[in-house]
Amino acid sequence: MNSIPEALLNLRGETKYIDDLPETKDLLHAVPCGTPLARGRITSIDAAAALALHPSVRVITARDIPGTNQLGQAVPDEPLLVADDPASPAAEWGFRGQVYALVLAGSKSLARKAAGLVKLAYEELEPVTDPRVAKEKGLLILGPRTQAMGDPAAAFAAAKWVVQGRVESGGQEHVYLETQGAYAWPLEGGAVKVVSGTQHPSGVQEGIATVLGLSMHKVEVEAQRLGGGFGGKEDQAALWAALAALGARISGKPVKLVLSRKDDLTMTGKRHPYSSDFRIGLDAKGMITAFEADYYQNSGAICDLSPAILSRTLFHAAGSYRIPNLRVTGYMCRTNLPPFTAFRGFGAPQAFFVIEAAIDAAARKSGIPAEEIRRANLLKEGDSFHFGMPVEACQAGTCWERLIEKAAWKETRAEMAAFNKAHRLEKKGGAIVPVCFGVSFTKLMMNQGGALVHVYHDGSVGVSTGAVEMGQQVSRKIARVAAATLGIDIDRIKVERTSTLTVANTFPTAASTGSDINGMAAQAACQEIKARLIGVAATALGVPAQELSIEAGRVMRSGSPSTLSWEDLVHRTYESRVDLSAHGFYATPNLVYDMKAERGSPFAYHVYGAAAVTVSLDVLRGRYTLDRAVIIHDGGESIDLAVDRGQVEGALAQGLGWALLEDLAFDPKGRLLADTLSTYKVPDLHFMPPRMDIEFLQGLPNPKAVLHSKAIGEPPLVYGLAGYWAVLDALDAARPGGPGLYDLPLTPEKCLDYLEEKRP
């Protein structure tokens, strides 16, 4: 029976990704053609030279789309292909690398070569890349959105200290190991099947149905697993899947489209860069009395998930702090850069950086240490968030105190100060950052999921849900939930690939809710089957069902083993003609939100934590190394501690990368400067602190999620910000009285500039 865990298959190199799927003889390879500049209008596409290359070559343009040339959901601004009809408004494109043609050929190299021969005639238009310029020009995707509480104007007037400033945070490339891709083949009756590298099979199904003009039941979408998603395949996998499906529909042959790394880097979206203004007010004791912020979200050329991401920014504007008077406004600024999209944290890290920068600035002006301001203003039980949700099961203070203890922070600070006094060319720095992260999709409707469970008559179990496995081990967690619910060993459970045929109308595996929602749905289905099994056992044993349970693969009567094993029971149930399959459904309860009033409880619960990072700075060169990270994390009762630890470590790495290292730079013409993995730097083992101590709070079962667990995927990314403030702390030791620097990532180049006082 023994089903093999996903992690072990990964380790052995046995997991199959899209490019590993077997290729049939008639397979066509697809290569997209992307626009050469950030903004322009197509006048014509000339495919003659490409077509002349080989008889297998086909060039598909917008004219070939049988359905609607549109993938945009919130806003219809996302054509599948830029139109080659100069009279159409869809002939204007919005970013460099936007797809205008798809080339098919019998081999990948041929398809690449042919794609290079497609000639584009166009008119160049002036691009906008700066979100503030876009806002001035009125280029907003949707209207601004504001959340407010209390009376900020009065609070600022009464404040002892008022500080304002500007904050920049850069974007971030997902660098999933598996690039975006899809494999599509035509089925009988005009239907199509697509294996897609997507976090959202139902969304891909809908997109394909729209562009092919099919009803959804003719489009089957499957995701076996992804070689990483990190948000990059929540919305943006649909384009590649729809292109592959279009190719299959038009050619009548299987089509495989797997992006080259370079195409993936230039053509797909990344984390949103933000430019923000803040104003913070403190009373004489260092309590934050007022906070205001304007967030200029660089949304890129297409709406994509920008509204949902902005929404999460606003919900996390106050970070982990109690701020009685607050007013925050977000602008979705349309620019001529690739469509920025979901990335682990989903707008919350950007908000955290702004409030932490405001506190840093307030500390510089008031002379009160930033750490004291942070500690004094942490959320407490009974407070409420600025959108009216009560603060419950608050662990902000617990995490902070435990961190101070575990990291021996007082001693660490004293050692760093002594070191800095004794050394001129090397400086130590450290910082603590608290985290409070809301769990649930900010869009209420998305908080639902389904499952389909089959118990086969040999006693093995297959579980399908809407959750997509992308390395986060959601399949492991769901297997644990099913095993615990049915009372059997985990190696009897196999979690199946995700398909629109098994579970329909699902939402993306995102918002860290994969195991929360799909685990609950799987649990519901297992409970239903278990009730039927117990009914059969009651008849077989001649005892009331209430006395029976299943534990460790055996039917138990009032806690003692009966004669019935799991296999016996399943077989009897089968013989008794009782259904061994069930569908389960879960909709997160008690979520309410009034968008007009900006009031309600949009989250099922919050995840708390705190991280301390210490660093050493080479003052001459501006280089730094990370010495240690200590993290206290409130993870509820973990379903799998090894998985959760891995998620915290991985998220920390990604957070540190965003805060310190990853420089997603575009030139004023909208061209991505580091467009290869040899020039775009991501954290590696050597970058990470050699000492990492991660502790999970114990004895805090979470009643709001499956098996009393807590979502884990995104919140720990914010810990990476501790690295930013730690490096700035070391810079301050080298340049006392400096103005502060709120411009992430804090690369060694920027450190050197700061030390040489080139920056404000």
Of 174, 270, 344, 477, which one interacts with ligand MOS (CB under 6 A)?
344
Measured CA to CA, the distance from residue 313 to residue 309 in angstroms comes to 6
Closest C-alpha among 720, 736, 722, 730 to residue 751: 730
How many H helices and E strands in the chain? 19, 30
Point out the residue whose Cβ comes nearest to ligand MOS.
Answer: 231
Interaction between residue 231 and ligand MOS (CB under 6 A): yes
Interaction between residue 511 and ligand HPA (CB under 6 A): yes
At 120, is the secondary structure helix, strand, or coil?
strand
Query: Per CB under 6 A, which region of 316-324, 338-346, 614-622, 623-631 contacts ligand MOS?
Result: 338-346
**Smallest separation, CB 510 to ligand MTE (Å):** 4
**Smallest separation, CB 446 to ligand HPA (Å):** 6
Interaction between residue 231 and ligand MTE (CB under 6 A): yes
Residue 474's binding partner among ligand HPA, ligand MTE, ligand MOS, none (Cβ under 5 to 8 angstroms by kind) is: ligand MTE
At 195, is the secondary structure helix, strand, or coil?
strand
Calculate the CA 448 to chain-centre distance: 18
Q: Please return the burial class of 563, using the count of CB atoms within 10 Å of its CB with bins 0-12, 13-18 and 19+.
A: exposed
Interaction between residue 234 and ligand MOS (CB under 6 A): yes
Question: Torsion angle of alpha carbons 677, 682, 687, 693, nearest 10°?
Answer: -140
Query: Residue 454's CB: how many other CB atoms inside 10 A?
Result: 19
Of 219, 474, 660, 722, which one interacts with ligand MTE (CB under 6 A)?
474
Measured CA to CA, the distance from residue 220 to residue 621 in angstroms comes to 55
**Smallest separation, CB 576 to ligand MOS (Å):** 44
Interaction between residue 342 and ligand HPA (CB under 6 A): yes
**Smallest separation, CB 756 to ligand MOS (Å):** 37
Interaction between residue 510 and ligand MOS (CB under 6 A): yes
477 to 516: interface string for ligand MTE, x by CB under 6 A: --------------------------------xxxxxxx-
Which of 28/238 has CB closer to ligand MOS? 238
714 catalytic? Reply is yes
Site for ligand HPA in 442-461 (CB under 6 A): 442-443, 446
**Smallest separation, CB 309 to ligand HPA (Å):** 8
Residue 347's binding partner among ligand MTE, ligand MOS, ligand HPA, none (Cβ under 5 to 8 angstroms by kind) is: none
> Which one of the listed residues 234, 371, 496, 714 is annotated catalytic?
714
Residue 470's binding partner among ligand MTE, ligand MOS, ligand HPA, none (Cβ under 5 to 8 angstroms by kind) is: ligand MTE
**Smallest separation, CB 313 to ligand MOS (Å):** 13
**Smallest separation, CB 419 to ligand MTE (Å):** 36
Site for ligand MOS in 399-438 (CB under 6 A): none
Query: Per CB under 6 A, which region of 421-429, 438-446, 449-457, 716-724 contacts ligand HPA?
Result: 438-446
Greatest CA separation for the chain: 85
**Smallest separation, CB 612 to ligand MTE (Å):** 23
Rounded CA Rg of the chain: 27
Site for ligand HPA in 302-341 (CB under 6 A): 305, 308, 312
Query: Per CB under 6 A, which region of 30-38, 102-110, 436-444, 533-541 contacts ligand HPA?
Result: 436-444
**Smallest separation, CB 442 to ligand HPA (Å):** 4
Calculate the CA 698 to chain-centre distance: 26
Closest C-alpha among 610, 606, 718 to residue 654: 718
Asked whether the beta carbons of 160 and 283 are under 8 A apart, the reply is yes
Q: DSSP secondary-structure letter at 90? A: G
Point out the residue whose Cβ comes nearest to ligand HPA.
Answer: 511
Point out the residue whose Cβ comes nearest to ligand MTE.
Answer: 514
Residue 675's binding partner among ligand MOS, ligand MTE, ligand HPA, none (Cβ under 5 to 8 angstroms by kind) is: none
The residue type found at 714 is E
The residue type found at 7 is A
Interaction between residue 647 and ligand MTE (CB under 6 A): yes
At 495, is the secondary structure helix, strand, or coil?
strand
Reply yes or no: is the peptide bond before residue 715 cis, omega within 30 of 0: no
Closest C-alpha among 231, 204, 306 to residue 511: 231
Measured CA to CA, the distance from residue 333 to residue 213 in angstroms comes to 32
Print the SS3 string covering 534-569. Answer: HHHHHHHHCCCHHHEEEECCEEEECCEEEEEEHHHH
H/E element, 334 = strand 325-334
Buried b (16+ CB within 10 A) or exposed e, 593-616: beeeebbebbbbbbbbbbbbbbbb
Which of 169/199 has CB closer to ligand MOS? 199
Interaction between residue 226 and ligand MOS (CB under 6 A): no
The residue type found at 110 is L
691 to 720: interface string for ligand MTE, x by CB under 6 A: ---------------------xxx------
Which of 640/714 has CB closer to ligand MTE? 714
Asked whether the beta carbons of 566 and 552 are under 8 A apart, the reply is no
At 278, is the secondary structure helix, strand, or coil?
strand
Closest C-alpha among 343, 345, 269 to residue 312: 345
Which of 624/658 has CB closer to ligand MOS? 658
Region for 505 from its dihedrals, namely left if φ exceeds 0, alpha if ψ lies in -120 to 50, beta otherwise: left
Of 346, 409, 566, 725, which one interacts with ligand HPA (CB under 6 A)?
346
Q: DSSP secondary-structure letter at 520? A: H
Which of 446/721 has CB closer to ligand HPA? 446
Residue 523's binding partner among ligand MTE, ligand MOS, ligand HPA, none (Cβ under 5 to 8 angstroms by kind) is: none
Residue with tokens 């049939």: 24
Q: With the C-alpha atoms ordered 385, 170, 152, 286, is the resulting torsion angle positive or negative?
A: positive
The residue type found at 409 is W
Residue 647's binding partner among ligand HPA, ligand MTE, ligand MOS, none (Cβ under 5 to 8 angstroms by kind) is: ligand MTE
Residue 298's binding partner among ligand HPA, ligand MOS, ligand MTE, none (Cβ under 5 to 8 angstroms by kind) is: none
Of 104, 149, 511, 706, which one interacts with ligand MOS (CB under 6 A)?
511
Query: Per CB under 6 A, which region of 285-293, 469-477, 494-502, 565-573 contacts ligand MTE?
Result: 469-477
H/E element, 166 = strand 161-169
Calculate the CA 561 to chain-centre distance: 45
Given the rule CB under 6 A, which residues bind ligand MOS? 199, 229, 231, 234, 342-344, 346, 510-511, 714
Active site residues: 714
Given the rule CB under 6 A, which residues bind ligand MTE? 228-231, 344, 470-472, 474, 509-515, 647, 650, 712-714
Given the rule CB under 6 A, which residues bind ligand HPA? 234, 305, 308, 312, 342, 346, 441-443, 446, 510-511
